[in-house]
Structure 1
Amino acid sequence: MQTFPTDANGIIFRQTAIDRGFTDNQLARAVENKQIERIWPGAFLPKQTLTREERHKRTAIAAGTLSGGSTALADESAAVLHGLSLLNARWNKVHVASGLKSGGRIDKRKHIHSGPLDAADVVTVEGVKVTSLEQTAVSIACSRGFYEALAVFDSALRLGADRDVMAGKLESYRPGVLIGRRGLHYANGKSENAGESWGRGQIIDDGLPIPDLQREFHDREGEFIGRCDYAWSGKLVAEFDGMRKYQGDLRKGESPFDAMKREKIREDALRRIGVMVIRWIWADLKDFKVAAMVREWLDQFGLLAA
C-alpha cells in the first residue's frame, strides 16, 4: 500500500506526489484499489469517513489551490472555510465567483456565480481566495429562503461580520434582496447554530414575540443555573436539542447519558425558580411544530400580544 504525501488538510496533490517520485500509474492504481479517491482533477483524498461538509471543504480547498487564484470560492465553498453555520447547504458542487456581471453557469463540478466583486469582497483563507465573510453571507441569503438567510446572517454576525457592510450590499436591487433584507433585519449573533436560527425563524413567521437569546439564569441564592437558547420575560424558556448537545459538546470524560442527566438537573433548577422549560428537536423543526409549541405556553403565561 502506497503512502502518498498529503498537505495540512490531508489532500494528495498529483504534482506534489509526482515531485516526490510517484507516478500517475501508481495514483490510478490506488484509486482503483479504493486506497484513495479523486476529489478534483489533480487532487485526491485517502479513503476515510467524512461528513459531506468536511469532504466539501477539502474539495473546495483543492479546487481553489489548483485554480492558481484565478477565481474566488463563493457561497457554500467560501462559507465552509469561514466556519459559517448553514441551513440546507448545497455541498454537491464547488461554488466560485467569477467577478463578472454575467456568465454564471453550472457544470459537472462547479457552480459559477456571476456578479461584480470589489477588491474588499475577496480575502484569503487557508491559502485560497474566497469571498469575504460579508459577501458570502449576502450571496447565500439572497439565493435562498428566509430561514437560510436568517441562519447565515446569525452565523456571520457571530463570527464578527460587519452588519453595516452587509446592509450596504443589500441596498441595491438584486434577485432575492427582499429576503436578504428581512433575514438581516432579524439576525442576531447570539444564535449559536443554524438549528437555533431555524426555530427562531418559525417563531418570527408566526408573529410571536421574539425571544431573548442565550439568557443566563441564577437561583435565589445567586448561583448560576445555566444559559438558555430562548427566553420570554423570565417565565418561559426553550431549548433546541440538536445532536451536538448530547454528542459533540460533551465535557471531558462525559457520556451522552451524563449530558442528558446534566440537562435534566439544570431543567429542574429552572422550574424551581418558576421558569417553564420546553424543548424541540430537528424533527420538530422539519415538521414546523415549533411555533405551535411556543404559542401554547406564551398563551398560558399571558405573554401573547393583545
Structure 2
Amino acid sequence: MTIRLDDVSRDRYGLIRRTAALKAGLSDDQLGYALAAKSLVRLTPGVFMVPQAADVARTEQGKDEYYRLACIAGATSTRAGEAPLSHHSAAAMHRLPLLRPDRGTVHVIRGGRGGSSLRGGRYRHAGGVPADDVVEVDGIAVTSLRRTAIDVAAMGNFAQALTVVDAVLRRGVTREELLDALAGRKFEGIRVARRAVEHGNPLAESVGESWSRAQMIDAELPLPILQRHYLLEGHTQIPDFDWDGVLVGEFDGRVKYRGLLRPGETPHDAVIREKEREDRFRRAGIEVLRWTWAMLERGELIPILITWLPKLGIAIG
C-alpha cells in the first residue's frame, strides 16, 4: 500500500494532524499502515511527524528536536487544555542545553487543587504559575526562563541543576531573578537548586563545562577562572578553565572539532590548529590538561586534578 504523505498539509511546526490527513483523503487505516511502515511517527494521539534521517535522529541535537516536537504536539493537541509547558518540556522549548534530560515525558503545570499526576507520558504538576512567569515561545505557552531553570534544577542532581542555571545565566537571567523564583518555594530539591544558583556562572559555555565544574565543586577543589584571555605570540587564547596562570583546562566535547571548523577546513586541520594553540601555552610555561565526556562519566577528572594541582603549587583540601 502506498501512502502519499506529500499531499497532506503540515502545520506551522511541520507536524501532520489527523484532521489534515483525513481532509487529504487518507483513512485511519492508512495512517496506521504508515505508522507500522515507520514512514510516520506518532507524537501524541492525532499528531504525527515524518521521521528524521537516522544519522540525525541518533545525535543529541536530533533527540532534542524530536522531544521538542513531542512537547509542541502535546501542548497543541485537543487534550492539552491551557496548562503551560514546564520543567524539561519548557527547557526544550527555550532550547536550553541540559545534562541527561528527561525526554520521555511532557511536563505541564495544571494549576488548581489536587496532586500531581502522570498519565500517558504526560506529567501534570500541581500548583500554579504567576502570570509573569508564563511566556510564549513559538506560539506555545511555557514557563519563563527563570521559572524553568528552578523547576529543572529542583528535579535533578547538583550537576544537572548547575547546567541549567549556567544556561539561563548565559541567556541574561540574573542571579537575583533566580533567587526571587526560589523565594517562598517549598519543594523537594530546593537545596540543590539554591546551591546551583549560588555557584552558577554564565561563562560556562557548554553542558560538559558545567558538568566538569560541578564535579570540581563537589570535590571541594580550587575553582578555576573561566574563559580567561591570554595574548600568546600574537594570538588571543581563551581556555575553558584556568588555575592561577599555571594550568589551563580544556573540555573536549564529542563534536568539538566539528564545531571549530573554519570555512574550507578539515577536522585534521582543526586538530593541528588546536595542537599549535596548546604548544603556545606550554612555551609560556602554562601546562595544559584536556578531558572528555567519557572521562567525566567514568569519574576520572577529579583524581587527575588532585594529582596535577599540588604539583603546580596549587593547594587542595
Worse-superposed segment, 51-60 or 241-250: 241-250
Contact kept? 1:250, 1:256, Cα under 8 Å: yes
Worse-superposed segment, 142-151 or 59-68: 59-68
Tell me, in whole angstroms, the C-alpha distance in 2 between the residues paired with 1:5 and 1:48.
18
- Could you tell me which residue of structure 1 aligns to residue 231 of structure 2? 218
- Could you tell me which residue of structure 1 aligns to residue 50 of structure 2? 46
- Could you tell me which residue of structure 2 aligns to residue 63 of structure 1? 74
Change (3 A) 1:13 1:136: same
User: Map of 1:1-306 to 2, 5 A cutoff?
Assistant: 1-2=3-4, 3=6, 4-49=8-53, 50=57, 51-66=62-77, 67=79, 70-100=82-112, 102-172=114-184, 173-220=186-233, 223-304=234-315
Contact kept? 2:306, 2:316, Cα under 8 Å: no
Tell me, in whole angstroms, the C-alpha distance in 1 between the residues paired with 2:173 and 2:18.
36
Worse-superposed segment, 190-199 or 171-180: 171-180
Contact kept? 2:41, 2:51, Cα under 8 Å: yes
Tell me, in whole angstroms, the C-alpha distance in 2 between the residues paired with 1:115 and 1:135.
13
Tell me, in whole angstroms, the C-alpha distance in 1 between the residues paired with 2:153 and 2:65.
22
1:285 Cα offset (Å) = 0.6
* CA deviation map 1:144-164 (0-9, x unaligned): 111111111001111122321
3-state SS of 2:241 partner: strand
Worse-superposed segment, 153-162 or 167-176: 167-176
TM-score w.r.t. length of structure 1: 0.93
Tell me, in whole angstroms, the C-alpha distance in 2 between the residues paired with 1:215 and 1:8.
43
3-state SS of 1:106 partner: strand
Q: Give the root-mean-square deviation of aligned CA atoms.
A: 1.8
Tell me, in whole angstroms, the C-alpha distance in 1 between the residues paired with 2:225 and 2:241.
6
Unaligned runs of 5+ in 1: none
Contact kept? 1:64, 1:128, Cα under 8 Å: yes
What letter is aligned with 1:279?
A: R
3-state SS of 1:274 partner: coil
1:213 Cα offset (Å) = 0.8
Q: How many residues align?
A: 304
TM-score w.r.t. length of structure 2: 0.90
Contact kept? 1:149, 1:183, Cα under 8 Å: yes
Contact kept? 2:282, 2:288, Cα under 8 Å: yes
Tell me, in whole angstroms, the C-alpha distance in 1 between the residues paired with 2:217 and 2:80.
44
Identity %: 38
1:27 Cα offset (Å) = 2.5
Change (3 A) 1:105 1:68: closer
Contact kept? 1:78, 1:136, Cα under 8 Å: yes
